[in-house]
Amino acid sequence: MTIRAEQLPIVSPAPPAALVSAAEIFEQVDYTAAVTAVQNALLGGLDPAQDFARQVLPVVSGQLLLMPTEAPDFVGIKVASVAPGNPALGRERIQGVYLLLDAASLTPVCLLDGAAITTLRTPAVSAAAADYLAPRAVEHLVVFGSGPQAWGHIEAMRAIRSINRVTIVARDQPRAELFAARVSASGLPARVGIAADVSAAQLIVCATTARTPLFDGTLVPADCCVVAVGSHETDARELDSALLARSQVIVEDPATALREAGDVIMALIDGAIQPGDLVPLRNLALGTVVADLGRPRIFKSTGMSWEDLVIATAVYRARQQLAA
């Protein structure tokens, strides 16, 4: 007997809940929980080298980023847009949505604000790495940038270290002053400074849209940890080759860094480092490589799909526990 399509039962799974807002995401998972989720994922066997490559599609107004990945319990994809002209229009530079699906059935279970997932996971990954690399005592944190990622990184670093003071370095001085005042109001003394202030830092965060090095790498002390997250483009860098040449360089995944990290790619072209010098973050988490405290330690992040899934899963599970 032939069964026609119209005779088949129609199964209509419940649609995912309405978009989980940025506010709810941060209510459910703070930076301490996000850092722990990233570290636990790496300790639990997650291998960033197995992640899908990000797709970057040029469009007239900027870029579309497609970031799919999978884990045993969930599959996810982030669709994000990067529009460099948006800040001048009073809109966010990065926007997007994150779709979380059940891995077994590929049924959508949750839709989340993609920009908020990015704002949470990028500092969380940085802090997870810095937890292995930064000195135990951080008297001085220097932050390049004054946007959401700069703020997120300060909050995430405070989740792993006690920090005495912060120096903000940014191109827009009035905005930098406002940002420093906001940080001070949160209980952490902050001021606006200059690039040379890195010479007295134990921790440096670069969270900018710069395309050329932000400071002289020879000024960075040997006991310093440097985090650079600003770019995933091959022709943009925040760190100079001089710094990479004298540092232990940690990346999420060497193959991804060699494909996307301008800081790494240009240092390779300059002969400052070799591909074999790149240390996977996973190796630090597992303890097969330890921080070299005799020289600067760099964590260069490009942002990967697995990181979004780790944070989206943490948010979803927190919401499920709250609803139970």
Banded model confidence at residue 322, pLDDT cuts 50, 70, 90: confident
Q: What is the pLDDT of residue 231?
A: 80
Helix axes 114-133, 305-323, angle to 10 degrees: 110
SS3 74: strand
- Non-local (6+) Cβ contacts of 217 within 8 A are 239, 240, 241, 242, 243, 244, 245, 246
Secondary structure tally for the chain: helices H, strands E: 10, 13
Beta strand segments in 104-263, E? 108-113, 138-144, 163-169, 190-192, 203-206, 225-228, 248-251
pLDDT digits (tens, 9 = 90+) for 87-111: 889 888 889 999 999 999 999 999 9
b/e burial code for range 273-294 (CB count within 10 A of at least 16 → b): beeebbbbbbebbeeebebeee
SS3 248: strand
Q: What value, to the nearest 5°, has the Cα angle with vertex 18 and ends 17 and 21? A: 120
Higher pLDDT, 171 or 12: 171
Residue 17 has pLDDT above 90, yes or no: no
How is domain 22-117+307-323 classified at the CATH fold level? ornithine cyclodeaminase, domain 1 (3.30.1780)
In the structure encoding, which two tokens stand for residue 123, read together? 């500092």
Q: What is the pLDDT of residue 182?
A: 97
Mean per-residue pLDDT for 287-291? 97
Banded model confidence at residue 6, pLDDT cuts 50, 70, 90: low
How far does CA 86 lie from the centroid of its chain?
A: 21
* Residue whose token pair is 């970057």: 56
Mean per-residue pLDDT for 295-319? 97
Boundaries of every domain in the chain = 22-117+307-323, 125-303
Q: Which of 110, 99, 112, 120 is nearest to 35 (CA)?
A: 120
Q: Count CB atoms within 10 A of the CB of residue 70.
A: 18
Choose the weakest-confidence range: 5-19, 120-134, 193-207, 225-239.
Answer: 5-19
State how far the Cα of 285 lies from the Cα of 42, in Å rounded to an integer: 6
SS3 content of the chain, % helix, strand, coil (to 5): 40, 25, 35
b/e burial code for range 124-140 (CB count within 10 A of at least 16 → b): bbbbbbbbbbbbeebeb
pLDDT digits (tens, 9 = 90+) for 184-228: 999 999 999 999 999 999 999 999 999 999 999 999 999 999 999
pLDDT digits (tens, 9 = 90+) for 39-65: 999 999 999 999 999 999 999 999 999
State how far the Cα of 145 lies from the Cα of 179, in Å rounded to an integer: 9
Q: What is the pLDDT of residue 323?
A: 83
Q: What is the pLDDT of residue 93?
A: 86
Q: What is the pLDDT of residue 1?
A: 46
Helix axes 148-160, 173-185, angle to 10 degrees: 30
- Non-local (6+) Cβ contacts of 264 within 8 A are 244, 249, 251, 257, 258, 273, 278, 300
Beta bridge partners of 168: 143, 192
Query: CATH classification of 125-303, choosing from 2.70.98.40, 3.90.550.10, 1.20.144.10, 3.40.50.720?
Result: 3.40.50.720
